[in-house]
C-alpha cells in the first residue's frame, strides 16, 4: 500500500528507500502518503514520495479497492462521499470508517492528495502553464490549486517549480511526456507480448518496445504511447485534444500495465473493452480469429481517427451506446454471443448515462449552495 515513515522532529514523511535515515524512535508509520499528509506532514525533498501513487490497492479489502479505483476514475470530482457510498452499496459513515481503518484517510482526503501529487509531478516534469496544470489535475480553479499545494507541500506552484532538478524536465518530440513510476519489478517485454496478443487491430498496436493506442477524450480522438524509461519507470507520451482530466487519463495508462496492483496481469485502458474482448473470446475460442473479429468490430463501428495510419491506428474503440444499437448480425459470431454483447453494451451505456446524470445533479446542487 505504499506505507511511509513520518519523522516527528522534521515534520516530513519519506519512502522506505529514502537515503535519509532518521532515528526509529522519531519515526511514525502511516499506511499511505495521503494519511501522512492528513496528519500534517509534508513530502521529503530527497525521496519525493509524490512521484508514486498516494495509495495502491494491494492487500486492502475489496470495498476499499473498489472505492480507490472509483476515486481514481474521478468519482469525487463532481460528487460527494455520500454519492460514492451509494455507488458502493454502503453508508457514508461506514465508507469513511473503513477507509480510515485501512488507508488512513477519508475518501475526500485521498482524492485531494491524488490531485496534489499529480499537480506536483506536472510542475516538476513539464513546462505547462500553472492554469493548465490546475485543470489537468482535476482542480476547479488555480486558486484551489494554490490552496491545496500550500497545505500539502508548503509552497506555491511557482515556488515548487523553482525547486525542480535540472534532470526532472522531460524532453519529448511532440506530445506531453509523463513518468509512470512503479516500485515493483515489471517485465516490460512480457507485458508487451501479453498486450500484443490481445490488441484490437486499428485501435491498439505494439511495435518494437512501444505500446500505442487511440483514446477518446469526450468523443474527440487522442493517442498515447508507452515505453520503458528505466527499470522503475515507464514513459507515457500523450497526444491529447485538451488537458482537462489528465490525471484520470494517466491513471488509466497505469492500469494498462497494472502498475498499482502487481498481482494482476496487464489490463486495458477501458474495462468496457475488456468485457467486449472476453465476450468475443468466449464465443470464438481461437485467439487469432477473435482478434480479427474485434478489428472488424472497430472498423465498422469505431470513430475514424485521421493521421495515425503510419502507426497502425485508424479507429477508436466503439462506444457502448453505439454497440448497443449496432447491426452486429454481420459479424461472424454465434447468435448467443451477439445477444450477450448487445446486452453488455446496453448495460454499460445505461451506467454511463446514470453517472453523467449524477454528475450534472451534483454540479447543480453545488452551484445552488453558492447562490
Closest Cα to residue 149, out of 249, 50, 52, 10? 50
Task: Give the span between the Cα atoms of 247 and 318, in whole angstroms.
Answer: 23
Residue ending a domain, among 167, 182, 197, is 167
Domain stops at, among 143, 167, 191: 167
**What is the tally of structural domains in the chain?**
2
What pLDDT is stored for residue 361 in this prediction? 47
- Here the CATH number for the domain that contains residue 39 is 1.10.10.60
* 283 and 161 within one domain: no
pTM of this structure: 0.82
Question: Which three three-digit cell numbers place residue 51?
Answer: 512521484
pLDDT digits (tens, 9 = 90+) for 309-329: 888 999 999 999 999 999 999
Residue-level pLDDT at 245: 87
pLDDT at 314: 94
pLDDT score of 356: 53
| Ordered alpha helix ranges (H), the chain | 33-38, 62-72, 81-88, 92-102, 107-125, 130-136, 142-153, 157-162, 188-198, 246-256, 271-283, 287-301, 320-325, 335-369
Considering 128, 151, 167, which residue would you say is the last residue of a domain? 167
> In DSSP terms, which residues pair with 204 in a beta bridge?
213
Report, as ranges of residue numbers, the positions in the chain whose pLDDT lies below 70.
1, 57-58, 171-173, 262-263, 353-371
Same domain, yes or no: 149 and 292: no
pLDDT at 56: 72
Per-residue model confidence as pLDDT tens digits over 240-278 = 888 888 999 999 999 999 888 766 777 788 889 999 999
Contacts of 303 (CB under 8 A, 6+ apart): 216, 219, 221, 315, 316
What range defines the domain where residue 97 resides?
1-167
Amino acid at each position: 500500500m505504499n506505507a511511509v515513515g513520518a519523522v516527528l522532529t522534521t515534520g516530513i514523511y519519506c519512502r522506505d528507500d529514502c537515503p535519509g535515515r532518521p532515528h526509529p524512535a522519531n519515526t511514525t508509520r502511516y499506511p499511505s502518503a495521503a494519511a501522512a499528509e492528513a496528519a500534517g506532514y509534508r513530502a521529503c525533498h530527497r525521496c519525493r514520495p509524490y512521484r508514486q501513487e498516494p495509495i495502491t490497492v494491494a492487500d486492502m479489502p475489496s470495498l476499499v479497492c473498489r472505492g480507490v479505483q472509483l476515486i481514481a476514475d474521478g468519482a469525487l470530482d463532481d460528487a460527494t462521499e455520500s454519492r460514492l457510498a451509494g455507488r458502493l452499496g454502503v453508508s457514508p459513515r461506514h465508507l469513511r470508517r473503513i477507509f480510515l481503518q485501512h488507508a488512513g484517510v477519508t475518501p475526500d482526503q485521498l482524492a485531494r492528495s491524488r490531485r496534489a501529487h499529480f499537480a506536483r509531478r506536472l510542475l516538476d516534469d513539464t513546462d505547462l502553464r500553472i492554469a493548465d496544470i490546475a485543470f489537468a489535475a482535476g482542480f476547479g480553479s488555480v486558486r484551489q490549486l494554490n490552496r491545496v499545494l500550500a497545505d500539502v507541500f508548503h509552497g506555491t506552484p511557482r515556488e515548487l517549480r523553482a525547486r525542480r532538478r535540472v534532470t526532472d524536465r522531460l524532453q519529448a518530440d511532440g506530445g506531453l511526456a509523463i513518468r509512470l513510476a512503479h516500485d515493483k519489478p515489471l517485465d516490460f517485454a512480457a507485458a508487451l507480448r501479453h498486450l500484443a496478443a490481445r490488441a484490437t487491430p486499428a485501435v491498439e498496436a505494439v511495435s518494437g518496445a512501444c505500446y500505442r493506442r487511440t483514446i477518446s477524450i469526450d468523443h474527440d480522438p487522442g493517442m498515447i504511447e508507452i515505453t520503458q524509461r528505466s527499470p522503475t519507470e515507464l514513459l507515457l507520451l500523450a497526444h491529447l485534444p485538451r488537458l482537462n482530466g489528465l490525471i484520470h487519463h494517466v491513471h488509466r495508462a497505469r492500469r494498462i500495465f497494472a502498475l498499482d496492483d502487481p498481482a494482476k496481469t496487464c489490463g486495458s485502458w477501458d474495462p468496457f473493452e475488456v468485457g467486449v474482448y472476453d465476450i468475443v473470446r468466449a464465443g470464438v475460442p481461437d485467439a487469432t480469429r477473435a482478434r480479427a473479429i474485434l478489428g472488424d468490430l472497430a472498423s465498422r463501428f469505431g470513430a475514424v481517427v485521421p493521421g495515425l495510419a503510419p502507426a497502425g491506428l485508424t479507429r477508436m474503440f466503439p462506444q457502448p451506446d453505439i454497440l448497443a444499437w449496432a447491426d452486429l448480425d454481420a459479424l461472424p459470431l454465434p447468435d448467443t454471443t451477439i445477444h450477450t454483447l448487445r446486452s453488455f453494451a446496453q448495460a454499460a451505456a445505461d451506467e454511463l448515462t446514470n453517472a453523467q446524470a449524477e454528475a450534472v445533479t451534483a454540479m447543480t446542487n453545488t452551484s445552488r449552495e453558492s447562490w
